[in-house]
Amino acid sequence: MDEYEKLIANSKKQQLSDSQQQKLNQQMKRTVSLSKMKLMVGTITIILMILPVSYIFTFLYYAFGTKSTTLMDVTSQTLYVTEPNTSLEEIEFDMEFSPFSMQLQFEQYKRIGKEDYTVNTYDMRYTLGNLTSKEVNSRLERAQRKNPNETSPWLTHPKNQSDVDTWREWEVLRGLPDETVVEAYISLHDLHTVDEIRRSFANVDVVWAAVDTGVEEKNLSKDGDVVSPIGYPVQVDNTTWSPFRDAYSNEQVFIDILNYIVQYEDLATKVSSHKNLKLQERIDYINKNGIKTYGVVVTGPKNEIEKLEDINLIRKIKLGEVKLWNWTN
Amino acid sequence: MELDKLKKLQIPAIAGWISVASGLFTLLLLNISMLTNNSILFEYFSLILGIGFIFAWPAIFSKKSRFLGVWALGIILFLIIFLFNIFFLSWIIVPFP
């Protein structure tokens, strides 16, 4: 027997029997199917964990990164100082979270006469720290321009031009029924302190004052960007969580708000309806020159607002919202 | 005798797969709850998690099916950490009473 035949004979001896081969095949099949099953279940586990992990990441971000409360405060405080005669009920804000984003829904109110009316409903969506979607459903009958220019604001500086047709506005006011209460935007001939204006407008409520911040003469910043009026609520505000609640001085709260939101100016600009805020420039001016107003928002009975025509402080007037009589204490 | 031996071998594996399935089902419920904003499903969490937890132990003590038990306990641990984190972090990020 040569070497080759020996090798063949040995290998035939080592060959498994048919039953053993079958068993081995079955075992291999079972192992392969088990491995496939493990792989499949492992993949399912990982897929099902994606959403919970992204929620944990989102919650951690809003707890320790850009805080959800910071976003809420910047949003509400920006609206207080950029939207004339408006207030918010922060405790009634609706806050919801989804992976990597936060949604904030709330209503904005206006004081017309002695009552607060819902005028806007906001729906803000923040992706991490950025405002990525802003929807405002307005119920205002007389709304300001969406894209303000240098002369379009209803409150204008004494040295600035204004698009407001005062003669027409007085005519409209005279045509209103006596049983109505009116919101009016009054631009003044000169700069005054808010107390002076409150004393002069004794029979109506002065609710919001626009503050001279050095850019209102042309409504242009040093860089040539269009800016709009900013100011603060004048009256006592007892709304829960309002920054002006129990304030010793609303002027001081206004300055504190500016110093706070300047740290988040990009966000504040997106939140507001203004094109630009240019806060640092305006804060510097206020710190140097103090707080003087060039225009106020007042509300009161139609007859009392009409009587303001005799006061020679007023340069321009623009009527805002009108409601049925509610001027009771 | 052989059948008994086979049963002894398979019981921990079956228990392991039951516990993994319970864990995955709880994860699925959690995903549905988060996608639909429906917290009612949270009521079933403890029951299904409990089943998974109980069935994981026979699997752990058998060498061949240990990975199934560890896998199931891993999912259960993840879910507990998740719920604890969400509960704790919610106190921080939601300022409303």
Interface confidence (ipTM) of the complex: 0.88
Residue A164 has pLDDT above 60, yes or no: yes
Give the model confidence (pLDDT) of B10-56 as tens digits: 888 889 899 999 999 999 989 998 888 877 767 777 888 888 889 88
CA distance linking residue A194 with residue A251, whole number of Å: 9
Supply A233's token pair: 């609520």
SS3 content of chain A, % helix, strand, coil (to 5): 40, 25, 35
**Confidence at B4, pLDDT banded by 50, 70, 90:** low
**Confidence at B9, pLDDT banded by 50, 70, 90:** low
A-contacting residues in B 18-47 (Cβ below 8 Å) = 20, 23-24, 27-28, 30-31, 34-35, 37
Instruction: Say if strands A293-301 and A87-88 run parallel, antiparallel, or are unpaired.
Output: unpaired
Reported in sequence order, the residue ranges of chain A that DSSP labels E, i.e. its strands, are 87-88, 94-98, 101-112, 115-127, 130-138, 180-192, 205-211, 231-233, 293-301, 314-324
Question: Quick one: what percent of chain A has pLDDT higher than 90?
Answer: 70
CA distance linking residue A174 with residue A49, whole number of Å: 67
Which residues, listed in sequence order, are joined to residue A103 by a DSSP beta bridge? A96, A125
Q: Which of A34, A51, A75 to mutate to test the interface with B (most CBs of B within 10 A)?
A: A51
Supply B27's token pair: 């994860």
Provide the pLDDT for residue A16: 66
Is there a contact between A185 and A314 (Cβ–Cβ < 8 Å)? no
Per-range mean pLDDT, top range of A47-56, A147-156, B63-72: A47-56
Angle among Cα A86, A87, A90 to the nearest 5 degrees reads 150
Q: Is A56 on the interface with B (CB under 8 A)?
A: yes
CA distance linking residue A239 with residue A158, whole number of Å: 33
| CB-count burial class (<10 Å; 0-12, 13-18, 19+) for A281 | middle
From the list A45, A52, A72, which residue is nearest B82 (CB)? A52
Q: Euclidean distance between the first and final Cα of chain A, in Å?
A: 125
**Confidence at A116, pLDDT banded by 50, 70, 90:** very high
What does the pLDDT average to over A188-211? 93
